[in-house]
A and B are shown apart, each in its own frame.
Chain A
Amino acid sequence: MTDSSRPGALRRGTAAALRGALCGALFATTPAAFALPMASEGSWMTMADFNSGGERDIAANHAVTGRDAFGVMATRWKEPVLHGGVHAQHHERESAGLTYTRLVHRWNLPHAQANLWFVGSAGRARGHGWAGERSFWSPAVMADYETTRLYLGAGLEPKRGSGLRHDTAWVRAGFSFYEVDYEQVQPWFIVESKRVRYAGTTRDEVTPLLRLIHRGLFVELGRNREGTQFNLMWAY
């Protein structure tokens, strides 16, 4: 490991950007993990995603129109390293950057809604085994279909840079236990299947989640082989 790859060696500018992005929190969320990655025009959306065994993210964006949002995000993840065919250890990685979210198309149906999203991000990443920081870019696409009782979603989020490959593909499906009024809390059961492909290995996760939604607040709690998964989203 070189000195520049150590956490304390972050350049001042990047460190400031990281601090700003984190907004005082330690970790953040992947926009792909949620049904709607942006709020209504003029609103803010804050997302946090904590996986005790894998990835931790935090993100915030502001919708400048009904279809466009700009924001910041930061991610910390553990990249498995293969030794003799087994995941003997992992490398810690971090990234921080800017995001642009675009609602490409929405289908408003009598009893359902379907969306196609684009989430682009770019920034800087650093981590063990890398000599200094490097730039990354990520053009993610995702789609969802939702009724008051059913949710289906899928996404592909490739994150690339010099020597960096961190591609995430996921599908989600679930149902609500019952319909509720807008003022009430709605519980959902969701199953997420996720594949993350790194430069040298692949990791698969299947996570059952309990989702609770109340107005602009969205909380998910689940558990998989890697550990506990906690997602939070707040639109305001």
Chain B
Amino acid sequence: MITTRPASIARRLAGALALAAAAALPAAAWAAEAAQSLKLQVNGMVCSFCAQGIEKRLKALPAAGPIFIDLRNKVVAVEPLPGQVLDAQKVASEVREAGYEVVATETVAQTVAQIRAETRAARQGR
């Protein structure tokens, strides 16, 4: 007859939990570090003068890091500086103050560099 003592079960359970936690750690750390960029769809942004005005206002935001402006698709992407959080409403408000209409805002788990690369790749693939 095989008997299992409570102490042994507890030890095995603790070991399994530790293993699961260790396996989950890198994923959790990655999620914490993954950039949360803001992407805005902007009506009326058709020229580099328009883009320059928007870029100037967004650069003045303390939490704003890299910015990507896609004139063809009328998209503005902003990435927060490390350790900072961007206020989506504030960013949209700055674009409106620059004289343009924001029709959509979304948060994406991408850096601005990734958005830029993805946009260019999509263009070349056409």
Contacts and interface: CB of A to CB of B under 8 A. Distances in A.
B70 A36 contact: no
Interface string B28-53: 00000000000000011111111111
A182 B48 CA distance: 6
Given A40-B53, A40-B56, A182 B46 contact: no
B56 A113 contact: no
B49 A111 contact: no
Contact of A108 (B56, B72, B101): B101
Interface residues of B, number: 25
A109 B47 contact: no
Interface string B67-109: 0011110100000000000000000000001111101000000
Interface stretch (A167-175, A210-218, A219-227): A210-218
A151 to B, nearest CB: 9
Nearest to A40: B53
A35 B57 contact: no
Contacts of A112: 44, 46
Interface in A111-130: 111-113
Contacts of B47: 35-36, 113, 146, 148, 213
A186 interface: yes
A215 B52 contact: yes
Contacts of A235: 49, 52
Contacts of B50: 113
Contact of A148 (B49, B54, B71): B71
Contacts of B69: 182
A43 B43 contact: no
Interface string A193-221: 00000000000000000000111101000
B97 A66 contact: yes
A35 B71 contact: no
A87 to B, nearest CB: 37
A35 B54 CA distance: 17
Given A109-B43, A113-B47, A113-B50, A181 B99 contact: no
Nearest to B119: A181
B37 to A, nearest CB: 16
Nearest to B98: A40
B46 A216 contact: no
B57 A108 contact: no
11 contacts: A40-B98, A40-B99, A43-B56, A66-B99, A111-B74, A112-B46, A113-B45, A113-B50, A148-B71, A213-B48, A214-B48
Interface of A: 35-36, 39-43, 66-67, 103, 106-113, 146-148, 179-182, 186, 213-216, 218, 235
Nearest 10 pairs of A and B residues by beta carbon: A108-B44, A40-B53, A108-B101, A108-B43, A113-B44, A182-B69, A182-B51, A216-B52, A113-B46, A66-B99
